[in-house]
Structure 1
Amino acid sequence: MAATLAVVLVGIGDPQLGTDELVTWDVAGRGTGRITALVRNVDAVHAAYYLLMHGWTAVFGDSHLALRTPSAIAMSGAAACVALIGARLFGRRAGLCGGLLFALIPAVSRFGQEARGYALVVLAATLATYLLLRALDRPRSGWRWTGYALCVAVVGLLHLVALTVVLGHVALLVFRFVRRERGGLWGFGLAVAAGAACVLPVVVLGRAQASRQLFWLPAPGVWGLVEIWPQVFASALCAGAVITLAALAWKEAREGLVLCLAVALLPPLVLWAASHGAVSYFRFQYVLFTVPAWAVAAGAGLAAATRGSRTAPASRTAPAPRTSRMSLPLRASWLPVAVGLAVLALLVLPDQRRMRGAFEHDVPHAADYAGAARTIEKYHRPGDAVVYVRGAPWMLDQGVRYYLRRDLPLREVFLAATAAENNELYPTHCGRPEACLRDESRIWVVVPGNVPDSLDAVPVQQARALRAKYTAYGAEHLSGLTVTLLQRKP
């Protein structure tokens, strides 16, 4: 936990907020009634996360660190679950190796530093796996099955697609059934049914909203089953190393391997098959919860590969040194593990640095919202207004507003109703733009991309109204966007 939290907190405030994070900030700042009204129209699958972040930001604020800390804590908790699962399935050494490997995976840093619910999904899905193992230890314990059922419900409330983790759990129960270990079947069935029943309203709303939210995702080809893994790990090199280490565990406990491989492979396969219908669900963020299963298996592989690496036992005639509570043979036995972890850390270091790039959370737009806010603040005069040109998936208005000083008055010229007032993610604009202009002497125009004339990127009717009364005074081209100042014609 400490290692993962330390790695994730390094540079957590460096990347600017991405599109999804800006949505989190915007929705979390609304009242609970507004959030409830929003999820009836869109984003029902994120309702639980929005409500959680609403309470969190009310207490801790909305800085980069405040918005992203829940994800950092969640990834740290997931690391603990990885170590506990590994210890139960393959031994304490394997558990520790798996937990430390998990901390080094670049995707853990990437989504542990994002103000979105994916890290919480990773924690909930991994905790559900751990609670399942505990329940199978005492299959007659109603409390243990209740804990598992609640965790399954949390997984579904955070993200419906993550419920596919239960397929891996089913595979474990089938494996035990074949081996005539039939305890827990009824408890498992009742727990899954109870957990699924808790998320039924989200299932109904989510299915109705799926085509609107995921229309842009294409149906995956066969090669997508291979291409997804470098994306899941946020590093092709790390994906290869972790999968190779997992392969080294092939001689370890069969039950543990079945569980790890089922949780790691079945959800992507099922989502790939389901994505050839009306809606595609095949997106690497949606199967991020499989990373802990890979880490557990890789930890077992690393432990197995280094288990025989020990120095010769100390001579019986020579007194044992008393300078350390750890004997030299035991200390030496961990040396190959430390070397392996150090090598992996060096291999993924370039990817870890990339995860902390200024625009890594806004790929491919790389919009410099903070730079736009600095430009407006530097040259701002009382009475200035602003025009934001936006459209899915751009969040120029929210992005610039986040980085602007909260006490800077800027009327949005063509705004008819805010996204919050619409119970939507997007605002609405004036039907007659010329009627929305007042007597502002200067108007800032923020548009996506670097264009010679910003008004060319403005909707036609709005541009016509602006050209009639204003002329460009100056422009600044930043990464991913252009900021132009218009001055009223004499």
Structure 2
Amino acid sequence: MLWLWPFAVTFVVSGFGMAGSLLGRDELVTWDMVNRSTGQILATLQNVDAVHGTYYLLMHMWVGIFGDSVVSMRLPTVLAVSAAASVVGLIGNRLFGYRAGILAGLLFAFVPAVSRYGQEARSYALVVLAVALATLLLLRVLDKPSGLWRWAAYSLALTFVGLLHLIALSVVLAHACMLAAHARQNRSLWWKSALALMAVGACVTPVALLGRSQVQRQLWWVPKPGGWDLLSLLHDVCASTLCAGALIALALFARSPRRAPLFLCGAWALLPAVLVWAASQGAVSYYRQVYVLFTLPAWVLLAGAGLARVCRSWKATAALLAALAVLALPDQKQMRQPFEHDVPVPLDYAAAAEVIASGYRPGDAVIYDRANTWKLDGGVQYYLPSDLKMRDVFLARTPAEINELYPLQCSVPVQCLKDERRIWLVTQGTDFPFNALDPGESMALQSRYTVSMSRPVTGMTVSLLVRGGGRDSRQKS
């Protein structure tokens, strides 16, 4: 079956080693959000991350059924990229024929970025699936423009795209080009497509307005892209120089008796990225390679068509696919490194949690460095045993309590200290642990505690503070 082989191969490739890398900071945000109540999630979205709200709500239901293990958190995205590969195969069959379709689906499976984001508990894999599905439904609409249910299905899929990630709606530019080209023969497409897009716009406008009000807060750190960023787009989207080069080379051989297939794939591959790049030249940059990951299916569709044309026999095709898979192995291996989801600042939350768990005694408390890093506390808490509970000394209110992503710290640290004899201190880096803290917190601690033990792990240091004495110890173990 056309859809089965791409699904199965993508599931095996992207599912392999899915629990091997630690949860990244963004995944820890997902974990935090989905473990809140529905009311708390909706309240938080009023303040931050509205553009990811649909994903959080879907994952909230998933985690409620299947739990929040690493495999459970990442399985939906593995399934999403696998389903996307099937949809790519179906689109390829419609545009270029059966052989090109199945080859496009298989090529999609071997792209390292598919494994990278197929193994991440964020919305981007679902966005790729939603865009591919919307494009397939658009082709069905063009087969029979009078079909009301086809228009409804297309509008629903496109709405889902916008609710998952607003930037992905830039694919509408490619869809509009395709609709306009067909409207020359069928003028009813003008008003039908206008009604469909207006319905989509009405559904996503509330999220767009809310997201717009939060954009400075969420994207302030994204740099403005230059010309080279646009030229190197496919390299960044594939997460592999080799795969990008192979897709471009094969795409150059793509041919079709009709202009429409090449026109659609070309517009899908290029126009959204150019639009996002141009929009990022203003006060806010929206240009990150993962935000335009949904253009990847267009590239593999062209490459699949090119491969079907270059290699006439299945034996030659299989040999070429096997060679590409082998050559991509180093990049595939890189996608599964322990800290790949926290590049470029790796933090070994699991090792830090193990240090604490092995030395824990009832009554111990904990302090996390929240001045220098984000989600260090959540990362360590995720990997600690669920029954190991410690008072977070300088935590005034949790993010869930204030409907935010960040906690509220104690304003007068000395007043938040109680009579704990031992406190675990988790800081980023390997400097003397007190140096990583806010000056007020550092002074409060140094007046009552000394460092009994300090153990570095990748990216951070776990120290044990014991009550008594006013002199700082710099002992390492």
TM-score normalised per structure 2: 0.95
Please state if 1:186 is matched with 2:166.
no
> What secondary structure sits across from 1:421 in the alignment?
coil
Return the alpha-carbon distance in structure 2 between the equivalents of residues 344 and 127 of structure 1.
26
Number of the residue aligned with 2:402: 422
Number of the residue aligned with 1:248: 253
Return the alpha-carbon distance in structure 2 between the equivalents of residues 240 and 391 of structure 1.
42
1:237 to partner: Cα distance = 1.1
1:173 to partner: Cα distance = 2.0
Please state if 1:227 is matched with 2:232.
yes
CA deviation profile, 1:231-282 (whole Å, cap 9, x unmatched): 2101111111111111110455421111011011011100111001111001
Please state if 1:202 is matched with 2:207.
yes
Number of the residue aligned with 1:362: 342
Gapped runs of 5+ residues in structure 2?
A: 1-6, 470-477
* Aligned amino acid, residue 456 of structure 2: H
Number of the residue aligned with 2:296: 291
Number of the residue aligned with 1:274: 279
Q: Which structure has the bigger radius of gyration?
A: 1
Number of the residue aligned with 2:221: 216
Number of the residue aligned with 2:66: 60
* Aligned amino acid, residue 436 of structure 2: A
% of aligned pairs identical?
Answer: 54
Q: Name which of 105, 112, 128 aligns with 1:106.
A: 112
CA deviation profile, 1:119-139 (whole Å, cap 9, x unmatched): 000000000000000011000
Please state if 1:123 is matched with 2:129.
yes
Number of the residue aligned with 1:352: 332
> What secondary structure sits across from 1:286 in the alignment?
helix
Gapped runs of 5+ residues in structure 1?
A: 308-332
- Size of the alignment, in residue pairs? 463
CA deviation profile, 1:367-418 (whole Å, cap 9, x unmatched): 0000000000001111111110125762100000000011102110000000
Return the alpha-carbon distance in structure 2 between the equivalents of residues 487 and 229 of structure 1.
53
* Aligned amino acid, residue 245 of structure 2: G
Note if contact 2:183-2:189 (Cα within 8 Å) is conserved in structure 1. no
Q: Name which of 155, 162, 169 aligns with 1:163.
A: 169
Q: Name which of 351, 366, 387 aligns with 1:386.
A: 366
CA deviation profile, 1:416-455 (whole Å, cap 9, x unmatched): 000100100000111110000011111111111121x111
Return the alpha-carbon distance in structure 2 between the equivalents of residues 450 and 263 of structure 1.
47
Note if contact 1:366-1:480 (Cα within 8 Å) is conserved in structure 2. yes
Return the alpha-carbon distance in structure 2 between the equivalents of residues 435 and 336 of structure 1.
73
Return the alpha-carbon distance in structure 1 between the equivalents of residues 162 and 211 of structure 2.
11
Q: Name which of 357, 370, 385 aligns with 1:377.
A: 357
Number of the residue aligned with 1:303: 308
1:229 to partner: Cα distance = 2.1
TM-score normalised per structure 1: 0.93
Q: Name which of 55, 72, 76 aligns with 2:78.
A: 72
CA deviation profile, 1:168-208 (whole Å, cap 9, x unmatched): 11121233345x45453332221121112111110110110
Number of the residue aligned with 1:134: 140
Residues 391 and 53 of structure 1, relative CA distance in 2, 3 Å threshold: farther
Return the alpha-carbon distance in structure 2 between the equivalents of residues 372 and 181 of structure 1.
64
Return the alpha-carbon distance in structure 1 between the equivalents of residues 371 and 192 of structure 2.
48
Please state if 1:467 is matched with 2:446.
yes
CA deviation profile, 1:4-45 (whole Å, cap 9, x unmatched): 111111000001000000000000000001000100000000
> What secondary structure sits across from 1:110 in the alignment?
helix
* Aligned amino acid, residue 7 of structure 1: V
CA deviation profile, 1:20-71 (whole Å, cap 9, x unmatched): 0000000000000100010000000000000011110000000010000110
Return the alpha-carbon distance in structure 2 between the equivalents of residues 378 and 279 of structure 1.
46
Q: Name which of 243, 256, 263 aligns with 1:258.
A: 263
CA RMSD, 1 decimal: 1.2
Pairing 1:450-489 to 2, within 5 Å after superposition:
450-451=430-431, 453-489=432-468
